[in-house]
């Protein structure tokens, strides 16, 4: 059989698909939409819900199963919407509840599930309950909904403990009493404008169950749960021990790994309650945890039978482009999840990290929190090549996978953004030492020749697009052989056709630097080394870069080979 004969059309491939039913989340490819940067409908330069609705057919065509939307709720946007002032309404910048319903209906009409973000660790300081807490004063029922404490020191002038905000600086802010005197302090693991909820309070738990009901009743298919590991804090809010501080300092992404505010065992009570509620709707509504926990074993606890359905595998995101390291992470991930009967949820990029095209183009070393013009710049060509190889590897693995908007176009970060334009609070909270996450949040390029690269009418974009985005615009790649977009589309179609998401990884020993395994009828090989190696046996189905010599697997390349067909043709 020749390669040409194995090339079937997408319609043929998708026509035979069975409806996976409640198990959809075990195999789903979920596309993350960052609403402010996906598509703008009204020309204000900020993406919105009608913009998403209009562009949904492009995602159906790409072949993803679901979309996850970062927050679009009413918010002063102190942390790009992860500071929610009203959990039951849409922020006017993104549209209205009616726009949401229209978007949901359109998505469902196209066969796409819809997951929304649930920001349950903290609200906005402009939430009516926080304003009521400030007004009501110490000891009130209103203050019990958040985490208020007296300060330490002679006059309460020191924060209640030594915790630091993930966005840098202290995790406590002091209030001012109505008479102008300094008052209690409140906890915020993130920005000052994001006070932490008190999850020990049954009123807070009841409120969130009601918020879940609100969106479930509207028809959403699930929730991505923001900082799912932080809702419960250690009793007494003890200081963070120096060892934890060291672990935190070793991290450059701003998310602590261990400490009295993270991954407390009792947080699982909350998810059991939520799961019980979801199950009263239908077995196909899902919860996905965003939990930066120290180990894959700890992560697996979030996807136990009666808890969430998915948890992002950040261990995989953080893996180096190195065969041994990747293999160890893949093995550990699958083994840890098997102990609880859950699939893994692979991910390479999101709105909080440097896009994998840029990340993999940097010299080896710690993962930076944003890249500035004066920093070492990524090698774009190398980064794109590796990113495509890393993606093809990810999409060949069993389980679910998340794709961040724009990665299907091979977008890099904006790595020379004007510092004055930065909006991530990390930038000023770190005293202008950490760029933060704006570089991965730039408006998408749709049409190369339109103003603003087709992001919205009139060409306004809330952050400028780097020059490199024009050539990467969707219309420059659509149906263009060898483009990154076509690689994603083909990979998603083959992933379905060959049922890779429900397969198993069977390692094959290979050259150093090469990762090789079978999954069903396919052999997958990824060369993370610097030298070409002989191509493994099999019929080449697809490759992360166009290949002229089918006998060689070049460096930084992943291939999918049809093993069964090869064996048959040999016999």
Q: Under the criterion CB under 6 A, does residue 253 sit at the interface with ligand NOJ? A: no
Question: 158 or 460, CB closer to Ca ion?
Answer: 460
Q: What is the closest distance, in whole angstroms, from the C-beta atom of residue 46 to Ca ion in the complex?
A: 5
- Do the Cβ atoms of 321 and 360 come closer than 8 Å? yes
Q: How far apart are CA 128 and CA 146, in angstroms?
A: 12
Q: What is the closest distance, in whole angstroms, from the C-beta atom of residue 369 to ligand NOJ in the complex?
A: 11
225 binds, among Ca ion, ligand NOJ, none (CB under 5 to 8 A by kind): none
The binder of ligand NOJ chosen from 91, 142, 307, 352 (CB under 6 A): 352
221 binds, among Ca ion, ligand NOJ, none (CB under 5 to 8 A by kind): none
The binder of Ca ion chosen from 48, 125, 221, 263 (CB under 5 A): 48
Choosing from 65, 221, 290, 352, which is the catalytic residue?
Answer: 290
227 binds, among ligand NOJ, Ca ion, none (CB under 5 to 8 A by kind): ligand NOJ
The alpha-helical segments, DSSP class H, found in 141-260 are 202-218, 242-250
- Do the Cβ atoms of 436 and 426 come closer than 8 Å? yes
Question: 44 or 144, CB closer to Ca ion?
Answer: 44
Q: How far apart are CA 79 and CA 282, in angstroms?
A: 33
Q: How far is CA 89 from CA 95, 102, 124, 428, in A?
A: 10, 15, 14, 29
Question: 82 or 271, CB closer to ligand NOJ?
Answer: 82
DSSP string for 20-74: -GGGHHHH-EEEEE-GGGT--SSSSSS--HHHHHHHHHHHHHHT-SEEEE---EE
User: CB within 8 A of 78, min separation 6: which ones?
Assistant: 124, 191, 193, 194, 425
In the chain the first and final C-alpha atoms are separated, in Å, by 13
Q: Under the criterion CB under 6 A, does residue 64 sit at the interface with ligand NOJ? A: no
Question: 43 or 283, CB closer to Ca ion?
Answer: 43
Q: Under the criterion CB under 6 A, does residue 79 sit at the interface with ligand NOJ? A: yes
Beta-strand relationship, 400-404 and 29-33? parallel
82 binds, among ligand NOJ, Ca ion, none (CB under 5 to 8 A by kind): ligand NOJ
DSSP string for 468-523: GGTTT-HHHHTT-TT-HHHHHHHHHHHHHHTTGGG---EE---STTEEEEEETTEE
Q: What is the closest distance, in whole angstroms, from the C-beta atom of residue 418 to ligand NOJ in the complex?
A: 21
User: CB within 8 A of 13, min separation 6: which ones?
Assistant: 493, 494, 496, 497
CA-based R_g, the chain, Å = 24
Site stretch for Ca ion (CB under 5 A), options 5-13, 40-48, 380-388, 504-512: 40-48
Site stretch for Ca ion (CB under 5 A), options 25-33, 47-55, 334-342, 539-547: 47-55
- Do the Cβ atoms of 33 and 69 come closer than 8 Å? yes
The alpha-helical segments, DSSP class H, found in 251-341 are 267-281, 296-300, 314-317, 323-338
- Residue 568's H or E segment, with its range, is helix 563-570
Opening angle at CA 99, ends 94 and 103, nearest 5 = 105
Question: Any bridge partners for residue 69, and if so which?
Answer: 33, 116
Q: Under the criterion CB under 6 A, does residue 119 sit at the interface with ligand NOJ? A: yes
The binder of Ca ion chosen from 14, 42, 96, 131 (CB under 5 A): 42
The binder of Ca ion chosen from 40, 79, 142, 352 (CB under 5 A): 40
Q: Under the criterion CB under 6 A, does residue 190 sit at the interface with ligand NOJ? A: yes
Q: What is the closest distance, in whole angstroms, from the C-beta atom of residue 34 to ligand NOJ in the complex?
A: 9
The binder of ligand NOJ chosen from 59, 64, 90, 227 (CB under 6 A): 227
Q: Under the criterion CB under 6 A, does residue 226 sit at the interface with ligand NOJ? A: yes
With tokens 């309950």, the residue in question is: 129
Q: What is the closest distance, in whole angstroms, from the C-beta atom of residue 190 to ligand NOJ in the complex?
A: 5
- Do the Cβ atoms of 86 and 73 come closer than 8 Å? yes
Question: 75 or 391, CB closer to ligand NOJ?
Answer: 75
Q: What is the closest distance, in whole angstroms, from the C-beta atom of residue 189 to ligand NOJ in the complex?
A: 8
Specify whether 226 is catalytic: yes
Question: 98 or 324, CB closer to Ca ion?
Answer: 98
- Do the Cβ atoms of 51 and 43 come closer than 8 Å? no
Q: What is the closest distance, in whole angstroms, from the C-beta atom of residue 164 to ligand NOJ in the complex?
A: 14
40 binds, among Ca ion, ligand NOJ, none (CB under 5 to 8 A by kind): Ca ion
Choosing from 40, 65, 91, 226, which is the catalytic residue?
Answer: 226
Specify whether 290 is catalytic: yes
424 binds, among Ca ion, ligand NOJ, none (CB under 5 to 8 A by kind): none
Q: What is the closest distance, in whole angstroms, from the C-beta atom of residue 351 to ligand NOJ in the complex?
A: 6
Q: Which residue is nearest to ligand NOJ (CB)?
A: 82
Q: What is the closest distance, in whole angstroms, from the C-beta atom of residue 301 to ligand NOJ in the complex?
A: 19
Q: Under the criterion CB under 5 A, does residue 46 sit at the interface with Ca ion? A: yes
Residue 194 backbone phi and psi in degrees, to 5: -130, 70
Please give the positions annotated as active site.
226, 290
Residues that bind ligand NOJ (CB under 6 A): 79, 82, 119, 190, 226-227, 290, 351-352
Residues that bind Ca ion (CB under 5 A): 40, 42, 44, 46, 48
């Amino acid at each position: 059989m020749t390669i040409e004969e194995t090339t079937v059309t997408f319609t043929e491939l998708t026509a035979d698909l069975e409806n996976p039913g409640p198990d959809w989340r075990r195999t789903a490819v979920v596309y993350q939409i960052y609403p402010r940067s996906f598509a703008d409908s009204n020309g204000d330069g900020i993406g919105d819900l009608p913009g998403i609705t209009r562009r949904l057919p492009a995602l159906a065509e790409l072949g993803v199963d679901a979309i996850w939307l970062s927050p679009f709720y009413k918010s002063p946007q102190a942390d790009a919407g992860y500071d929610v002032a009203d959990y039951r309404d849409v922020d006017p910048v993104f549209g209205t509840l009616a726009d949401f319903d229209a978007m949901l209906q359109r998505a469902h009409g196209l066969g796409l599930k819809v997951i929304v973000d649930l920001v349950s660790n903290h609200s906005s300081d402009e939430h009516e309950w926080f304003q009521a807490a400030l007004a009501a004063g110490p000891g009130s029922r209103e203050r019990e909904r958040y985490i208020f404490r007296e300060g330490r020191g002679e006059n309460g002038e020191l924060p209640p403990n030594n915790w630091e905000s993930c966005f840098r600086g202290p995790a406590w802010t002091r209030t001012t009493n109505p008479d102008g005197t300094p008052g209690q302090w409140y906890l915020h693991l993130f920005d000052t404008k994001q006070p932490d909820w008190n999850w020990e309070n049954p009123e807070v738990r009841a409120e969130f169950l009601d918020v879940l009901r609100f969106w479930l009743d509207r028809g959403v298919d699930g929730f991505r749960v923001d900082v799912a590991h932080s809702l419960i804090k250690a009793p007494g809010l003890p200081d963070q021990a120096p060892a934890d501080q060291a672990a935190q300092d070793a991290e450059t992404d701003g998310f602590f790994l261990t400490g009295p505010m993270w991954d407390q065992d009792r947080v699982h009570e909350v998810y059991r309650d939520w799961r019980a509620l979801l199950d009263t709707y239908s077995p196909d509504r899902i919860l996905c945890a965003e939990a930066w926990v120290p180990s894959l074993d700890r992560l697996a606890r979030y996807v136990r039978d009666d808890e969430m359905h998915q948890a992002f595998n950040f261990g995989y995101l953080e893996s180096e482009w190195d065969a041994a390291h990747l293999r160890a992470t893949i093995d550990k991930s699958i083994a840890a999840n098997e102990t609880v009967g859950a699939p893994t949820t692979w991910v390479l990029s999101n709105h909080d990290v440097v896009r994998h095209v840029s990340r993999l183009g940097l010299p080896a070393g710690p993962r930076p929190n944003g890249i500035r013009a004066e920093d070492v710049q990524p090698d774009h060509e190398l980064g794109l090549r590796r990113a495509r190889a890393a993606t093809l590897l990810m999409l060949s693995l069993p389980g679910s996978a998340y794709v961040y908007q724009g990665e299907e176009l091979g977008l890099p970060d904006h790595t020379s953004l004007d510092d004055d334009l930065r909006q991530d609070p990390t930038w000023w909270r770190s005293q202008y030492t950490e760029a933060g996450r704006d570089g991965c949040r730039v408006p998408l390029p749709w049409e190369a020749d339109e103003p603003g690269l087709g992001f919205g009418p009139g060409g306004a974009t809330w952050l400028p697009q780097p020059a490199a985005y024009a050539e990467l615009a969707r219309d420059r790649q659509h149906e263009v052989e060898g483009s990154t977009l076509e690689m994603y589309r083909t990979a998603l179609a083959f992933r379905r056709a060959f049922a890779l998401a429900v397969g198993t990884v069977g390692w094959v020993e290979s050259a150093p630097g090469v990762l090789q395994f079978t999954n069903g009828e396919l052999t997958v090989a990824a060369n993370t080394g610097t030298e070409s190696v002989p191509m493994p046996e099999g019929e080449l189905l697809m490759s992360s870069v166009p290949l002229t010599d089918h006998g060689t697997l070049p460096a930084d390349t992943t291939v999918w080979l049809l093993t069964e067909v090869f064996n048959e043709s040999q016999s």
